[in-house]
A and B are shown apart, each in its own frame.
Chain A
Amino acid sequence: MTTSPFVKLDGVAKRWNGQLGVEGITLDIPEGSFTALLGPSGCGKSTTLRLLAGLELPDEGKILIDTKDVTTSAASDRNLSMVFQSYALFPHLSVAENVVFGLKVRRVPKKERLEKLHRALEITGLLGLEDRKPGELSGGQRQRVALARAIVAGQRLCLMDEPLSNLDAKLRNAVRKDIKKLQRELGITVVYVTHDQTEAMSMADTVVLMKDGHIQQVGSPEDLYSRPNNTFVAEFVGAPPMALFQSSVLEGFGEDKTIGIRAENIQIVPRGEGRMRCTVNESEFLGAETLIGLDHAGAEGLCVLKPGLSLMAEGNEIDIMFSDENLHVFDAVGQRMVG
């Protein structure tokens, strides 16, 4: 990894007719890393990727790729490749023609073109399908053609815009692993947009969580999970999300604060020994464990995990226990407080 970041966004902003697209995006992406842009729909993650790709031009700020200022460069001059959510395969061209389209446009000699095509198809497991049209392929195969097209030219930066969202759940897990493996083997830098936190957390070295056009937190998946910057991150990351309650519910935390706790840090204790008394509102059997949803005045999303199948009747009153070191304390505006 080099000292200066491979991709650098500096105070980038894009507004649509005065409306907010993204604002103040500052981000360093080291070479060879896997960065996920995560957030709910409309948070600006796709816009950020399109700004990076050169499909949109920023209103403010600078974009550097490999120490070159590309803020106003055309998409084709940025030496990157992209996988689209819809794959954007050319429907009238065969798999082979789709993959080498860019090489042909860039006038790569035929011999080299065929070598690169063979290698790309080999890596993505598409050998033997060269002459098929995209319409004759399954969703997973189309997805791999899009991947092959992205890696065939050997660009060092690859952008992916929700590449798995059109696949069914089972395939998604398999392709997720394939993409991660591909990225490591080729040593390319991937910027990956997704709204699915499982995807982001399982694949990325760095997760960038966004909301309403602003970056909420940049960090490793573990960082986001165990040290959320604010209540939005706390509630977005993790399944089930972190429970939040007002500090006035507990003694010794004062007023106006929000306290968060994760389900795995809560224990059910015999009556009279707990710190909070709650009512069971649902039991969800998940297989290895059972998720018990709890109601408490002043708390939101409180739940507890019990191993195996252990359903509890709705309306039961139970006491719960947790230790202070597992609590996350946020100030009145939802920012994490030191500690």
Chain B
Amino acid sequence: MSAHANLERRRQAIYGWLLLSPAAILLTLFAFYPSVATLWSSLFSRGTRRNPTEFVGTENYAELFADPTFWIVVKNNLLYAGVTIPVSIFIALSMALWANGKIRARGFVRTAYFTPTVLPMIAAANLWLFFYTPGLGVLDQIGSLFGLPSVNWLGQPETALWAIIIVTIWKEAGFFMIFYLAALQTIPEDLKEAADIEGASRWTYTRRIVLPLLMPTTLFIAVNAMINSVKLIDHLFILTKGGPSDASKLILYYIYEMAFAFFDAPSAAAMTMMVIAVLGIVAAVQFLYLDKRTHYQ
């Protein structure tokens, strides 16, 4: 190979690495290294003044599996994910289909749907705290108009998690709607016209044409919603703090408690590793399985 071609190849290689390096450095510093460090520390015992840290292998994990609170939290989080993901996707899709139609005040409707997304979660939680407060809250005020008894939505184990779930759906649906709206804009108008001429009803058109064409977006949103179902816990701090009696405690909140309230870093690390593993597996399944059945334009 001639010298200048060799030089050119090397230049290209350097150029490529330079472009990669900002992301590579930041990800290594704040994602890869912490992950590995967490995995490492999850294998050691909690150090005290008398018992220094020592390698214990999977003992931290075994301890967690024996912890009844851990199983409550897992069950809570599964219910939380199982309800918030499909419901917020369904509501987002319905709102997008509606806000994409030829309706009056379309701009207003879109903005209104999007408002919850713009609000910080802490502010939104305070807002909902006011709704849920027994006696004073808006829900109770409305209930009392119809002679219903006062309900402490956040204060009783049967309703606390559901109250949290509703706040999350309210917060997420508008955000997901924006993605669906953007995707709907890319579906050409004449597909609808062609379907009209073929005699397809609005429902058939939606089911056979629109929904399949929205699949890439749905997949993206589903993965995001799944991650959020683990990640989004800000409102717990305001509304319930995981209570009453762990009824609304989610896994990340429990990790936070472990690490910074009980100062049991190894257990928190072990739990974090399990969350990463589960999220990774589910995301992989979603992408690998659904990707095959998804049409990308």
Does A pair with B? yes
Contacts of B193 in A (CB 8 A): 53, 55, 75, 82, 84, 88
- What 0/1 readout, one digit per residue, does chain B (68-81) give for beta carbons within 8 Å of chain A? 00000000000000
B203 to chain A, nearest CB (A): 11
Contacts of B297 in A (CB 8 A): 91, 135
The number of chain A residues with a CB under 8 A from chain B is 22
Q: Is A11 an interface residue (CB 8 A)?
A: no
Q: Is B16 an interface residue (CB 8 A)?
A: no
Contacts of A149 in B (CB 8 A): 194, 198
Give Cα A18–Cα B227 distance, bound, in whole angstroms.
52
Contacts of A202 in B (CB 8 A): none
User: Which residues between 53 and 70 of chain B lie within 8 Å of chain A, taking CB atoms?
Assistant: none
Determine if A86 and B188 form an interchain contact, defined as CB atoms under 8 angstroms apart. yes
Determine if B197 and A86 form an interchain contact, defined as CB atoms under 8 angstroms apart. no
**Known interface pairs A91-B295, A92-B212, A92-B213. Does A105 touch B197 (Cβ–Cβ under 8 Å)?**
no
How many chain B residues sit at the interface, stated as a range, is 10 to 19
Give Cα A88–Cα B195 distance, bound, in whole angstroms.
9
- What 0/1 readout, one digit per residue, does chain A (61-86) give for beta carbons within 8 Å of chain B? 00000000000001110001110101
Q: Is A106 an interface residue (CB 8 A)?
A: yes
Determine if A106 and B295 form an interchain contact, defined as CB atoms under 8 angstroms apart. no
Q: Is B8 an interface residue (CB 8 A)?
A: no
**Known interface pairs A86-B188, A88-B188, A92-B295. Does A105 touch B204 (Cβ–Cβ under 8 Å)?**
yes
User: Which residues between 183 and 209 of chain B lie within 8 Å of chain A, taking CB atoms?
Assistant: 188, 190-191, 193-201, 204, 208-209
Q: Which of B196, B201, B204 has the most CB of A within 10 A?
A: B196
Residue on A nearest B193 in the bound complex, by CB = A55
Contacts of A84 in B (CB 8 A): 190, 193-194
Contacts of B194 in A (CB 8 A): 82, 84, 88, 90, 149
Give Cα A82–Cα B196 distance, bound, in whole angstroms.
10
B189 to chain A, nearest CB (A): 9
Give Cα A84–Cα B189 distance, bound, in whole angstroms.
11
Q: Is A241 an interface residue (CB 8 A)?
A: no
Give Cα A33–Cα B213 distance, bound, in whole angstroms.
38
Determine if B197 and A53 form an interchain contact, defined as CB atoms under 8 angstroms apart. yes
Give Cα A293–Cα B208 distance, bound, in whole angstroms.
57
Determine if A88 and B190 form an interchain contact, defined as CB atoms under 8 angstroms apart. yes
User: Which residues between 38 and 70 of chain A lie within 8 Å of chain B, taking CB atoms?
Assistant: 53-55
Residue on A nearest B209 in the bound complex, by CB = A90
Contacts of A285 in B (CB 8 A): none
Q: Is A101 an interface residue (CB 8 A)?
A: yes
Give Cα A80–Cα B193 distance, bound, in whole angstroms.
13
Give Cα A74–Cα B200 distance, bound, in whole angstroms.
11
Q: Is A5 an interface residue (CB 8 A)?
A: no
Q: Is A139 an interface residue (CB 8 A)?
A: no
Determine if B190 and A102 form an interchain contact, defined as CB atoms under 8 angstroms apart. no
User: Which residues between 89 and 106 of chain A lie within 8 Å of chain B, taking CB atoms?
Assistant: 90-92, 101-102, 105-106
A131 to chain B, nearest CB (A): 14
- Residue among A54, A86, A102 making CB contact with B198, cutoff 8 Å: A102
Give Cα A274–Cα B196 distance, bound, in whole angstroms.
62
Give Cα A88–Cα B190 distance, bound, in whole angstroms.
6
- Ranked 5 nearest A-B pairs via Cβ: A102-B198, A76-B199, A92-B295, A88-B194, A88-B190
* Chain B interfacial positions (CB closer than 8 Å to A): 188, 190-191, 193-201, 204, 208-209, 212-213, 295, 297
Given contacts A75-B197, A102-B199, list 8 more A-B pairs with CB under 8 A: A82-B197, A84-B190, A84-B193, A88-B190, A91-B213, A101-B200, A105-B195, A105-B200
| Residue contacts A-B, CB under 8 angstroms, 27 given | A53-B193, A53-B197, A54-B196, A55-B196, A75-B196, A76-B197, A76-B199, A76-B200, A82-B194, A82-B197, A84-B193, A88-B190, A88-B194, A90-B191, A90-B194, A91-B297, A92-B212, A101-B200, A101-B208, A102-B197, A102-B198, A105-B198, A105-B201, A105-B204, A106-B198, A106-B199, A133-B295
